[in-house]
Amino acid sequence: MANITFVEHDGTEHTVDIEEGKSLMQVAMDNGVPGIDADCGGECACGTCHVIVDDRWIKATGAVSEEEQQMLDMTPEKEVTSRLSCSVNLSSEMDGMVVRLPEFQM
């Protein structure tokens, strides 16, 4: 089964199965991965589902919309490969992907 790994800020890893069609945020929540708040429930309107995608996988996560960019810009923890996980739709091509969680969600 295709899977992805979330790495908490303290290094703890959580590997979860990919469910195609769901968002990265959704599988994290469904599997109880700590460190994602998702206050707006996936509307790209709160910025609290921030993750940092491993360089090698950033292409696979697709384009960042202007809306997402604007929300990301409000996060002081933003890095070059930052994404809002509710805006990343999972596909089997992401098998093996690694994403880091920031120390804080804003």
Partner 1 sequence: MARRIKSPTPIYSVKDMLNEQSINKILVPVVNKSSAVVPFHLQIKGMHIFQKAKNKILPMLAEKPQFVETDIPEAHQVALEDIDVSNPFMFRQNKWHSYFKRLRDECPVHFQPNSPFGPFWSVTRFEDIVFVDKHHDLFSAEPAIVIGRTPDGLPGETFIAMDPPKHDVQRQAVQGVVAPKNLKEMETLIRQHVCDILDGLPTGQTIDWVERVSMELTARMLATIFDFPFEDRHKLIEWSDKATNSPEMAGGTGTVDEVFNAALEAAKAFAVLWHEKAARKKAGEELGFDLISLLLSNKDTEDMIKRSMEFIGNLSLLIVGGNDTTRNSITGGVLALNEFPEEFTKLKANPKLIPNMVSEIIRWQTPLAYMRRIAKQDVELNGQTIKKGDKVVMWYVSGNRDERKIEQPDAFIIDRKNARNHLSFGFGIHRCMGNRLAEMQLRVLWEELLVRFDGIDVVGEPEYVQSNFVKGYAKMMVTLTAKDSSQ
Q: Which residues bind partner 1 (CB under 8 A)?
A: 37-41, 43-48, 67, 70-71, 73-74, 76-77, 103-106
Task: Name the segment binding ligand FES (CB under 6 A); options: 32-40, 56-64, 74-82, 94-102.
Answer: 32-40
CB of 10 to partner 1, least distance (A): 14
Strand ranges of the sheet holding 3-7, from the earlier edge strand across to the other edge: 13-17, 3-7, 97-100, 50-53, 82-84
Q: Identify any residues that bridge with 99 across adjacent strands, giving them in sequence order.
A: 6, 53
Which one, 17 or 103, has the nearer CB to partner 1?
A: 103
Count of residues that bind ligand FES according to CB under 6 A: 15
Strands (E), 27-84: 50-53, 82-84
Those residues with Cβ within 8 angstroms of residue 66's Cβ, 6 or more apart along the chain or in another chain: none
The residues that touch ligand FES, with contacts defined as CB under 6 A, are 25, 38-40, 42-49, 71, 84, 86
